[in-house]
Structure 1
């Protein structure tokens, strides 16, 4: 269990953000993009496909509509969480490349085998990752690669994933990649390598009575 908590540390950080979805307009500079990372777009369609994968997996994992409704309620920030993870994945990969760190498919398979043994099999691990982190079964190997990259990067830096030096490497990578989020999903805080809610005072409207209400 200790090993499992450790390997999930970075993923937990990536899914920690939770706040109301803003109804801002699309980013005119990058139409159709949910984010631009290193000049490469993560399209809204790609993001929506990832979210659909999770929702489909959640639906298949329960037996009735009430359970499905509960699963949705627990993952109400899923779209932003998924985008956060997609961006962080690219940031971490750049930081790993900068440090000449790589992860092999064999290493991913070995980690998965160990976690499956702890979880009581492949299905148990997939269910756990889906419930705890909103990771669809078909994305599990990608998630495990993310964990291994984080661990190996920290080891290369002579620290661990909770140390400022580790997050400093991610900050450097974030700045190199010049991450730009569509305003509807917030902003990217390069210093923290995390998504943040956009400050949009313009969403407040003044009522005819002179009061102020939030849109």
Structure 2
């Protein structure tokens, strides 16, 4: 086994300032981790998503020590997962508002290209799990969101680091009236994107998995 370093073009580390929209949770929605567009993300749904990641992490390592190290590295997994789930819905709304759609063929083409760069399907799945907390069963869904973000940016004649893109997300966030349970923090569309370490905050035409066998 050896390690090959791959170069990925990332967005500017200093994301351009964008209108920030915060929404504090309250007790009006018992059992909800968040409410987005009138739809609840329940605590049980959130825990199920976290369990998916933990199960994938456990399967990806050889022993308990390595698993505990993985847990330590992702100590804010529950909060980050919820922020990602909310951010994904905000992105979907912003994309629909701009007439952006993504086909299954586009997702498959992107996955094929990334697998070639990573050295195979397993290597790509492992890299996405380790870098972004995306379990293998959610990989295609995540790649669709990456493409969606890039197509939205293109429709706005911008890229995902520029104010026009974040303004569109802020507008969509406002339309959805995001309400986060206070135990998971306050919702801020731009901060949520950074904290969730979402893969679509990268150039999807060049991003590659950084670990390969």
Please state how far the C-alpha of 1:116 moved relative to its aligned partner: 0.6
Partner Cα distance (2:194, 2:40) in 1? 19
SS in 1 for 2:30: coil
Larger Rg: 1
With over 3 angstroms needed to count, the CA separation of the structure-2 counterparts of 1:108 and 1:114, relative to structure 1, is same
- Structure 1: which 5+ residue stretches go unaligned? 14-25, 198-215
SS in 1 for 2:41: strand
Q: Cα RMSD over matched residues?
A: 2.0
Please show how residues 3-152 of structure 1 align to structure 2 within 5 Å.
4-6=8-10, 27-152=26-151
Partner Cα distance (2:9, 2:61) in 1? 25
Partner Cα distance (2:26, 2:193) in 1? 16
Please state how far the C-alpha of 1:5 moved relative to its aligned partner: 4.4
With over 3 angstroms needed to count, the CA separation of the structure-2 counterparts of 1:74 and 1:5, relative to structure 1, is farther
- Structure showing greater relative contact order (alpha-carbon pairs closer than 8 Å, 6 or more residues apart): 2
Match of 1:162 in 2: 161
Match of 1:180 in 2: 179
**TM-score of the aligned structures, taking structure 1 as reference length:** 0.78
Q: Which runs of 4+ in 1 moved over 3 A?
A: none
Residues 84, 193 of structure 2: 8 Å contact kept: no
Please state how far the C-alpha of 1:196 moved relative to its aligned partner: 10
Aligned residues: 178
